[in-house]
Structure 1
Amino acid sequence: MSKVYKAVVTVADRFVPGKLRPLWEHPAGPKTIFFWAPAFKWALVLASLDSFSRPLEVVSTSQSATLAATGLVWTRYCLVITPINYSLAICNFMLGVANSVQTMRAYNFHRKHAIA
């Protein structure tokens, strides 16, 4: 797979305009996993935002809390690795925020509707 990816990058390299060259050549740019990880991880953020439309009785508080913790912990990690990956940090932070809000919503719902 890396041979195919390298071939695609080599071909694409010829078409990158001069103004985009710094982004293209950046240590966390499209030529590296540091770019593609957050690009695909945004799907988790979008799924988390989509779960706001689900009824709260089917929302898992533990799953939302786990995703929130994961997002916030990895946000910190993204800021201490080399190269610093701001795009992944923003993605993880948004994952943490979205799921923190969802956790509180689900927790309050389940607490309010608990049978005494």
Structure 2
Amino acid sequence: MSKAYRAVVAVADRFVPSRLRPLWEHDAGPKTIFFWAPAFKWALVAASLEQYRRPLATVSATQSATLAATGLIWTRYCLVIRPVNYSLSICNFSLGVANAVQCFRAVRYQRAAAE
């Protein structure tokens, strides 16, 4: 950890209420990358959901399939690492499902357009 991050955590440590202390001290809590990775990865899920507004003619089935596979593969990984990271697992699962649906929609549209 960087000195700046340790300083911020030390200051924040004093303000964490006792009932939130277990979350704060958890192996996958806000003091670790295990907390911040899913927090920022939700932006990728949001971007995937935003893709539903685009015309299907402009959606890449390959990109959607790749993101779906990545999300679903990493969902499994999040459940076998230590500490188990349920938050990142849910985020990756959401990414996988959102892009699998988008891939299905894009492929269905491309097949209908080819007919």
TM-score between both structures, scaled by the size of structure 1: 0.97
Cα deviations by residue, 1:21-79 (Å, 9 ceiling, x for unpaired) = 00000000000000000000000000000000110000000000000000000000000
CA distance in 1, matches of 2:72, 2:58: 24
With the length of structure 2 as denominator, give the TM-score of the two structures: 0.98
Match of 2:68 in 1: 68
User: What percent identity do the matched residue pairs reach?
Assistant: 74
1:36 match: 36
The one-letter code matched in structure 2 to 1:21 is: R
Aligned counterparts of 2:33 and 2:51: Cα–Cα separation in 1: 28
Q: Which residue in 1 is equivalent to 2:92? A: 92
CA RMSD of aligned residues (A): 0.9
Is there any run of 5+ residues in structure 2 with no aligned partner, and where?
none
**How many residues align structurally?**
115
Counterpart-to-counterpart distance in 1, 2:31 and 2:8: 10
- Partner letter of residue 10 of structure 1? A
Q: What amino acid maps onto 2:93 in structure 1?
A: F
Identify unmatched segments of 5+ residues in structure 1.
Answer: none
Amino acid at match of 2:21: R
